[in-house]
Amino acid sequence: MKRFLTPGKLLGAFLAIVVVTVGLLLVLPDDGSYIFLPDEPHLVDPVVEVEGGQPPDDEGGLHFVDVIVRRPSIAERLLPGVFHDGASLVPAHAVNPAGLDEADRRRSSLQVMSRSQRVAAAVALREAGHDVEATENGALVVQVLPDTPAAGRLHPADVIVEVDGTRIDTVARLRAVLAERRPGQEVSVAVRRGDERLSLEFRLAADPQDPARGVLGVLVEQSVDIGLPLDVEIDAGNIGGPSAGLAFALGVLEELGRDVDRGLLVAITGSLALDGSVGAVGGIKQKAIGAREAGIEVFLVPAGDNAEEARRHAEGMRIVPVESFQQALQALATAAENGQD
């Protein structure tokens, strides 16, 4: 005897298949991309502790902002805007061109964050009138470009200390040495990676902007040993990257007694160099949305493209572009005095 499913049972079976399929789409990761999502701003004060300093007790507050970065599910990749407001899909090679696995990528990001915290402390203490010792000790890799000799071999947070036997203590020295090399030429590069020293061989590629110039394919900043006159502890937990440098420097200064926020709710993003200059950051769309939804009044961002992108998502939140630590201090004072951008 043949048995046939009733229409009700057929519908139930179909719905079960749909539920299982949707569930799998929501859970199974897409390895070809990352998803960027807004996060809530984080108060700077609880994560900064300065020897002899006092937490601010006035209204307002300084906040640093970050972006949730993770692998998307297949469904999130297909319809990112349906599941999350402000979501952006980014190709994996753009997030991690060094080819690290997820654990190594996170470790490298935390190392960069640790360095940015020390630079932030140095900039703030200098502003407060303290002497800060800084010794140049190499060229710090901050980004590895895809499809270059360095891709998959050099990592963010590596420090280049030698090229073909020549000591590299400054970024200028690295550029001068590489300027003497041509595309296709092999070079031996010594790097400091954590507690290890590695020796790697590279065949230089041609610079797309100057075909006669040989390049490794990295963006670098000055690496320095910093001696602080006061103990400064900054604990941002598992948040990585360099983009909270400006926020931490302002927070250190406020703990030393300076009224930085002027009673305003302020969010800040921007990498910070030892000379006080502010550099561009990623994820500005998500950071602006997160700050706006949290009721932030003033959002300090790096001048240029970052500021333009932040304004597109501000919806009334005041965007203040800055190029330096000093300019950030002045901008907050001005914003508090007259309420102008």
Secondary structure (DSSP) of 76-139: HHH-HHHH-TT-EEEEHHHH-TT---HHHHHHHHHHHHHHHHHHHHHHHHHHTT---EEEEEEE
pTM: 0.78
Across 178-201, b (16+ Cβ under 10 Å) vs e yields beebeeeeebebbbbeeeeeeebe
| CATH number belonging to domain 133-224 | 2.30.42.10
Distance (Å, whole) CA 199 – CA 243: 30
Domain locations in the chain as residue ranges = 33-97+116-132+229-338, 133-224
pLDDT band at 14 (very low <50, low <70, confident <90, very high): low
| pLDDT attached to residue 80 | 64
Task: Look at residue 111 in the predicted model and tell me its pLDDT.
Answer: 79
In the chain, the percentage of residues whose pLDDT exceeds 70 is 86
Residue 313 has pLDDT above 60, yes or no: yes
pLDDT of the residue at 242? 83
Per DSSP bridges, beta strands 133-144 and 218-227 are antiparallel
Inform me whether the pLDDT recorded for 317 exceeds 60: yes
Lowest-confidence segment of 164-173, 230-239, 263-272 by average pLDDT: 230-239
| Higher per-residue pLDDT: 102 or 333 | 333
Neighbour count for residue 2 (Cβ, 10 Å): 3
The answer, yes or no, to whether residue 297 has pLDDT greater than 60, is: yes
If pLDDT is split at 50, 70 and 90, which confidence band does 210 have? confident
Over residues 71-123, the pLDDT tens digits come to: 888 777 777 666 677 888 888 777 776 666 677 777 777 777 888 899 999 99
Query: Does residue 303 have a pLDDT over 80?
Result: yes
Three-class secondary structure of residue 267 per DSSP? strand
CATH architecture entry for 33-97+116-132+229-338 = 2-Layer Sandwich (3.30)
Of residues 89 and 129, more confidently modeled: 129
C-alpha to C-alpha distance for 211 and 203, rounded to whole angstroms: 14
**What pLDDT is stored for residue 20 in this prediction?**
47
